[in-house]
Chain A
Amino acid sequence: MSKQTLSFLNLSLVTGRTIIQGTLVEDKLTKSYLEHVSTLKLNPADMKKLGLKNGDKVELKGPGGSVIVKVRAAADVSEGVAFIPMGPWAEAVVNPETDSTGMPGFKSIPVTITKSDKPLTTLEEIYGEKEPILNLGQTFEREAKGEIRRITDVVCPFCGSLCDNLVVEVQGNKILKVMNVCSLGLSKFMKSHENRVPYPMIKENGRFVKVPLEKAIDKAAEILVNAKYPVLFGWSSTSLETARLGLELAELVGGIYDHCSTFCHGPTALGFHEVGMPKSSLGQIKNWADVIVYWGSNVSEAHPMHPQRYSYFSVGRHRKGRKDRKLIVVDVRPVPHARHADMFIKVKPGKDYELLVALRLLVQGKELEVPEVAGVPREKVVELAETLMAAKFGVMFVGVGMTMSGAKEKNFEELFLLLHDLNRISKWVVIPMRGHYNVTGADMATIWTTGYPYAVEFSRRYPRYQPGITSTADVFLREEADALLSIASDPLAHFPRKVAEAMKKVPIIAIDPKWNLTVAFSKVVIPSAMAGIECSGTAYRMDEVPLRLKKIVDPPPGILPDEEILRLLINRVKEKLGVKP
């Protein structure tokens, strides 16, 4: 008996990090990366409904556009949900509009999947390019010389966990081994010499020309000085010292200073503005927490060491390991770590807000009258509330599952109020799962220098802030920016396509160690050293603990740290503006 297959299916799309995407994120123009981020994962039952098998093609259509991608069945995707890794294909489909929050719609996006036999959408098609996108990244061989040295207490420059107990074995300038590290960090260290921007370049007539650093700096300064409303973006994967200098530069050129928070944990900050929040350093969790909740966080793929260093597998003074703790996972799909959980709550995509309100009702001692909230049966909601209330020391680790979907920043207002209520009968803290290793540092520096966390503009010579107006996505959607400085970031690969299209229309200055999509479309490219591997600096962990990044090996010859490049750029800009240094 054959079942009638459907001709199309409406699903809720989630885009995000995977381990593979994370290990390849710095090699965006490689075949492995492109294949991985153009593969759509579907629940096996949904595959069956459409009569699909692994490797088949579908048209994925969303608010931002449509692409032809391959499909694959996956157990960690719920029925009704689809998953595609963050990257150009995801960005071609997601919702570019931010609803005045600065945050585009990256998750819980309504999409339609239809079986297709059209050719797969190429990277060039996504960016409207007729010619293949240039990849001029080069591998630079690190020289192994002399004795083998062990460097301990190394801080990993990948994710917001900022593990600081790495041990790196080097010989001369070659990294031999890295220990106490996850695959994301390992990839960063071991492939740090690959795909490098080889030298400063300026694009003339569609071709990149090698130029001396001074000329690139001069051209970059000229672009910034001549622009009426430049956007200076990135700052999250480089040192605090660089982020600080960036603020000085943005102020000088009267532009916008924005960083990854704008499309990551910005909504968390917006919720914080309204009601504040109870927070904690990570060691406190290790020492005390008996109830641990991961909400909207794919910790195993985005922060792999987190559970053993800081949470449910960690051993602290008063809590020893897994047996002393309860683990609750709340997500739209059974993310990998859900298999360790005592309780897995599957919430309907975009409906976290409703669940938070229901929990608040129960914590306040009121009745929950409906049979189901956000796809969760009432009994389970009650059980969850009771578990939260019975905690001696509870922690919520909250990821971008909550910032990027549904009520966005309103989720956080409600979450923080829930925790305020819980704190009357129990003790609760929340720690946002910051993605990049120094996005917190960029945040901190922006706050202490301007009072505001991100999306700060200086066109009137003093800081002004209004997410939705001064945020990068919105400024480009309205086509108000006339230049882009991208540092330690790849905005063209990770902003929605419509935003990337607008970015392509303005002169771009890219400062990056590695060749990436933004670099490929830039006017001026300046290679930089990798903080935490080739130069030192400070980074702030997700719980705001600042740690010192080490210099392990030398950068390729002639390549400077971001900090120095920024200083050169600031001086050149000051010269052009006639400012005393």
Chain B
Amino acid sequence: MAEILIKNGYVIDPLNGIHGEVMDIGVKNGKIVPPDQVDTRYAKIIDASGCLVVPGGIDVHTHVAGPKVNAGRLLMPQDHYKIGRVIRAIPGIRRSGTGKSVPSVTNIGYKYARMGWTTVMEAASPPLYTRHTHHELDDTPIVDKGVNLLLDSNWFILEYIENKDQVRVNAFVSWILRATKSYAVKLVDPGSAEAWSRGVATQPLNIDDVIPGTSLTPKDILTALANAVRDLGLPHPIHVHANMLGLPGNYVTTMKTVETVANIANKRGLSIHLAHLQFNAYKGDSYATMLSAAEELAKLINNLSGVTFDMGQVVFGGTVTMTADAPWEFYLYHIAKWKWVAKDVEAETAAGIVPYKFRRHVYTNVIQWGIGLELALLVKDASKVVVSTDHPNAGPFTRYPQIIAWLMSKKAREEEMSRLNKKAVKRLSLPAIDREYTFEEFVLSTRVAPAKIIGLEKIKGHLGVGADADIAIYGIDPRTFDPSREYERLVKAIKYAKYTIKDGEIVVKDGKIVKTVYGRTFYVEPPSEPKLESEVLSDVKEKFKEWYSVTLNNYVILNEELRKVEPIRTY
């Protein structure tokens, strides 16, 4: 592998205290090294003068792989065929790809890489089907990846929580993360899948409601799983899609969700990551009169140190919603009146998929659009914020550059607002917000924050010696470039990176894919106590025969099934 020397770039690397300095970056054997260790006789020299050099981007919540993503692709052939959405194969360089809202795995890897993103975390995978998730991730070019595992309605976990047996909850969580090669604990509308099995749940499940068939509330599940994350030393805090998502007035539930676990922090001091917070930040009692609760939530998040969120920012246009929140999707199907997919997964979870269009003239959609930006701008510390669209729910990830422009330029926001439903714009706080993200805050909310949330900040999210050589070089110079005025140029510059380097290989040049490599799948290895685990597994094995349609041995995924695994020990 050739070494690389990136010369004279304008580097922003907050984790190493570099807030904008011209310096050289050295790359050797896939890692960042001191520039003087690079043998300039044979190295590739990149002249990055006048360019911004930052670590590769990290998406902490995106639906890119697994059964519901694939069902989304099958549902929307019309998403794939348009010429602008297609990548043609160049044998030896890149494979072909299609699609925008539900792209093929090839389009996903390549389009993230073209924007300078190098790591993605699959937002939600059902354990029984995680083998499928890994197949897709393995076929996704370039990016590193990890899996968030759906555990909130798992029958074993529910039973152990009913028995108030935190020790067994921990043992089971430890085992299942290893058995499915997953990275983090995911909760989606906790308990709702259990209600869904009993009939297409008509009443949404609130945080203090009893989950049908149990004596538990979502609060119990949140607490038990947050405890497990802490006890097992997991790097990623519980990743939560809160109850009542999508419903006016739900911000109260969101605040209660945070308060339930605010004191249960993992070893990094993080207690909860709120997924796509925009969808859970609604005030009011109807869609026609809904308002933003960004101020209330921002206040809460500003006062707590262990809470992070990703935006779930709406972008206007057609997209596909997909989530494990099956009841919510059934409800949305009746609003959107077009197509609907639902999936039940035995003893574990569920899912729903509904194509949807966010429209500029629709009051509710404009409020939704405003909320995402308000959250990011009202929360003071950008290292608690991650840029996302909950791809593809609020929009495709390829619109991240546009979102960054909105964050960094008030003018860009005003330009968008001038085209939106006026009544809604009047009801938002956004017009009065002057704050514009700095370049450093751009780096914080797309690199540093997600690296910390997934707990890999030793090797990701920074450009110090020892980091993975995942680097993005953009063709703009923060010293002379004013993003506030030139937001359109900003969008282009981020959309097509000048260079993207992955593990020390140049994969993107001038916004084009020049090489295909395959990244690693990170998974956690939490501690286990052999005797306890053996007891738990024999209990599990017995119940598996009745509850599951596969044997316990066949449920376990082996390392050799994945292309490139990287276990992260948590003890």
Q: Which residue of A lies closest to B345 (CB)?
A: A281
Known pairs A282-B346, A426-B199; A462 contacts B353 (CB<8 A): no
Known pairs A281-B345, A284-B346; A164 contacts B554 (CB<8 A): yes
Q: Within the complex, which residue of B135, B197, B333, B554 is in contact with A288, where a contact is CB–CB below 8 Å?
A: B197
Whole-angstrom distance between the Cβ of A152 and the nearest chain B Cβ = 8
Beyond A276-B340, A429-B342, A547-B550: 9 further Cβ-contacts under 8 Å? Answer: A275-B339, A281-B128, A283-B346, A317-B546, A423-B200, A447-B73, A462-B89, A463-B80, A546-B132
Whole-angstrom distance between the Cβ of A241 and the nearest chain B Cβ = 9
Is there an interface contact between B135 and A538, defined as CB atoms closer than 8 Å? yes
Binds A, one of B96-104, B307-315, B496-504: B96-104
Q: Which residue of A lies closest to B132 (CB)?
A: A546
Known pairs A153-B554, A155-B554, A276-B353; A464 contacts B81 (CB<8 A): yes
Say yes or no: is B106 at the interface (Cβ < 8 Å to chain A). Answer: yes
Q: Within the complex, which residue of A165, A252, A310, A427 is in contact with B199, where a contact is CB–CB below 8 Å?
A: A427
The 8 A CB mask of A426-462 against B (1 = contact, 0 = none) is 1101000000000000001101111111000010111
Q: Which residue of B lies closest to A465 (CB)?
A: B77
Is there an interface contact between B77 and A452, defined as CB atoms closer than 8 Å? yes
Q: Which of A239-294 contact B (CB under 8 A)?
A: 240, 244, 248, 251-252, 269, 272-284, 286-288
Binds B, one of A78-86, A113-121, A560-568, A573-581: A573-581
With a cutoff of 8 Å between Cβ atoms, the chain A residues found around residue B67 in the complex are 544
Bound-state CA distance A317–B81 (Å) is 44
Pairs A–B under 8 Å by Cβ, sample size 9 = A164-B554, A251-B91, A280-B345, A283-B548, A284-B345, A447-B74, A448-B135, A544-B67, A547-B554
Count of CB-CB pairs between chains A and B under 8 Å: 191
Say yes or no: is A393 at the interface (Cβ < 8 Å to chain B). Answer: yes
Is there an interface contact between B88 and A462, defined as CB atoms closer than 8 Å? yes
B interface residue numbers (CB < 8 A to A): 65, 67, 69-70, 73-77, 79-81, 86-92, 95-99, 102-106, 128-129, 131-132, 135-136, 139, 155, 197-200, 330, 333, 339-347, 353, 546-551, 553-554, 558, 561
Say yes or no: is A420 at the interface (Cβ < 8 Å to chain B). Answer: yes
Top 6 A-B residue pairs of the complex, sorted by shortest distance between their CB atoms: A283-B346, A283-B549, A451-B80, A280-B344, A276-B341, A276-B339
Say yes or no: is A540 at the interface (Cβ < 8 Å to chain B). Answer: yes
Is there an interface contact between A538 and B131, defined as CB atoms closer than 8 Å? yes
Bound-state CA distance A447–B105 (Å) is 9
Whole-angstrom distance between the Cβ of B153 and the nearest chain A Cβ = 12
Number of interface residues of A (CB under 8 A): 68
Bound-state CA distance A91–B240 (Å) is 55
Q: Which residue of B lies closest to A244 (CB)?
A: B139
Q: Within the complex, which residue of B96, B129, B339 is in contact with A461, where a contact is CB–CB below 8 Å?
A: B96
The 8 A CB mask of A96-126 against B (1 = contact, 0 = none) is 0000000000000000000000000000000
Is there an interface contact between B98 and A462, defined as CB atoms closer than 8 Å? yes
Known pairs A281-B346, A451-B79, A451-B80; A546 contacts B197 (CB<8 A): no
Known pairs A276-B75, A574-B92; A538 contacts B561 (CB<8 A): yes
**Best-surrounded residue of B65, B139, B197, B346 (most CB of chain A within 10 A):** B346
Q: Which residue of A lies closest to B340 (CB)?
A: A276
Is there an interface contact between B129 and A546, defined as CB atoms closer than 8 Å? yes
Known pairs A155-B554, A462-B87; A448 contacts B70 (CB<8 A): yes
Bound-state CA distance A153–B556 (Å) is 12
**Best-surrounded residue of B69, B77, B340 (most CB of chain A within 10 A):** B77
Bound-state CA distance A580–B103 (Å) is 26
Bound-state CA distance A460–B554 (Å) is 40
Q: Within the complex, which residue of A153, A240, A444 is in contact with B551, where a contact is CB–CB below 8 Å?
A: A153
With a cutoff of 8 Å between Cβ atoms, the chain B residues found around residue A72 in the complex are none
With a cutoff of 8 Å between Cβ atoms, the chain B residues found around residue A453 in the complex are 74
Say yes or no: is A61 at the interface (Cβ < 8 Å to chain B). Answer: no
With a cutoff of 8 Å between Cβ atoms, the chain A residues found around residue B88 in the complex are 460-462
Known pairs A279-B341, A450-B98, A538-B135; A273 contacts B77 (CB<8 A): yes
Bound-state CA distance A523–B34 (Å) is 59
With a cutoff of 8 Å between Cβ atoms, the chain B residues found around residue A277 in the complex are 341-342
Bound-state CA distance A310–B548 (Å) is 10
Is there an interface contact between A579 and B92, defined as CB atoms closer than 8 Å? yes
Known pairs A420-B340, A449-B139, A451-B80; A309 contacts B549 (CB<8 A): yes
With a cutoff of 8 Å between Cβ atoms, the chain B residues found around residue A272 in the complex are 74-75, 341
